[in-house]
Amino acid sequence: MEKIVACQRSKTHDILLTIMREKEIWSKFGLDLEARYIPSGEMDHDSLDRQLMEGKLDFIFGYHHIPYVARAKKGSVRYVCVASISNQCPDVLCARPPIKSLKDLRGKRIAVQGYHPRSTVWRLLALEGIRVEDGEVEFVRSPARGTVYQGMLDQLLNDKVDAAFLQPPFDLHAEEAGFPPLEETRLFPNIMGATLTMMPQFLKTRPEAIEKLIKAMIYGIWFVKTHPEESISILTREKQDKADDRDFRYAFERQIQILESKPYPTALAIYHIHAQAVYLHPEIPNLNELNPLSVWDTHWMREIDDSGFIDELYASKA
């Protein structure tokens, strides 16, 4: 069994990783995987760089814009992403009436949180010609921790903001309270969830491990998509009261909806995440000159796809 140590940077990856662990999917592909959870808001990126370069960590679940930042800012740190399990954002902008579209948000206040979600809203607005940088909207920012989405929902319900960027199931609660989602913001193309991101030396020295990792992730996604009730049972084993919980099922279904059966990144998702990196880091002048494809190597994915592994998996009745 090959030992692999990964950094997990978001609890949103728990659905897939929990099921893969409980179904022993990693070991099915000859891997002994240890996932160390480090909340994105608490990450010391320089420390992670060192751990990856020294081989104390093998890869990261869920680096999105940071590979661009590292490549532009630190010449010796060249992250490579080999797969993207989701290329759509599950969060959606919910707004108070009479707001019906993004263009109606000019001059309004929007509740946002964290780095990546905030930059996603920036991108949505920028595509409509609304410049956050020029004060055409006001971001009401909350730290990415704890009950942040409930707090953002409360701000919306109490008329503290005009809109809020909410993840499932908080978008459902907002809609039921009379603050419907802006449909044009649903499933926005973006690099989301667990990318497989690593350093070049890992690519060079352990290519077979990369193939195993990608195949295991593909198998895990297949299992979740084709065995939803068993997956829910696994996730609720310790909290059986959640098995029939509407909010839990709604959030589960939305997360599963965006998982890629064939986890290539999409062109639009790459395009948007690179633009968000530029927005988040204006202090790096050459960031916008990086080719958005420069941090991606999908040849492992293509070889696995061309082998028929994925098509045969979905054609099976296992």
pLDDT tens-digit series, residues 194-229: 789 999 889 999 999 999 999 999 999 999 999 999
DSSP state of 240: G
The residue extents of the domains of the chain are 2-87+190-315, 92-186
- For the domain made up of 92-186, give the CATH fold: D-Maltodextrin-Binding Protein; domain 2 (3.40.190)
The pLDDT value recorded for residue 51 is: 85
Do 92-186 and 2-87+190-315 fall under one CATH topology?
A: yes
Q: Which two tokens stand for residue 68?
A: 């661009």
Q: Is the pLDDT of residue 50 over 60?
A: yes
The pLDDT value recorded for residue 316 is: 85
| Residue whose entry in the numeric block shows the structure tokens 């599963």 | 256
Task: Give the span between the Cα atoms of 287 and 277, in whole angstroms.
Answer: 8
Q: Is the pLDDT of residue 39 over 70?
A: no
The pLDDT value recorded for residue 241 is: 53
The pLDDT value recorded for residue 16 is: 87
The pLDDT value recorded for residue 41 is: 64
C-beta of residue 46 within 8 angstroms of C-beta of residue 77: no
Q: Express each pLDDT in 51-92 by its tens digit.
A: 888 888 888 887 788 889 888 886 778 899 999 999 999 999
Task: Tell me the pLDDT band of 147, cut-offs 50, 70 and 90.
Answer: confident
Which residues have C-beta within 8 Å of that of residue 261, sequence separation ≥ 6?
Answer: 218, 221, 222, 225, 310, 314
pTM of the model: 0.91
Q: Which two tokens stand for residue 21?
A: 């662990």
The pLDDT value recorded for residue 142 is: 79
CATH architecture of 2-87+190-315: 3-Layer(aba) Sandwich (3.40)
| Residue whose entry in the numeric block shows the structure tokens 């494809």 | 293
Q: Which two tokens stand for residue 251?
A: 């959030």
Q: Express each pLDDT in 253-312 by its tens digit.
A: 999 999 999 999 999 999 999 999 999 899 998 899 999 999 999 999 999 999 999 999
CA 68 vs CA 29, 279, 290: distances in Å = 30, 12, 8
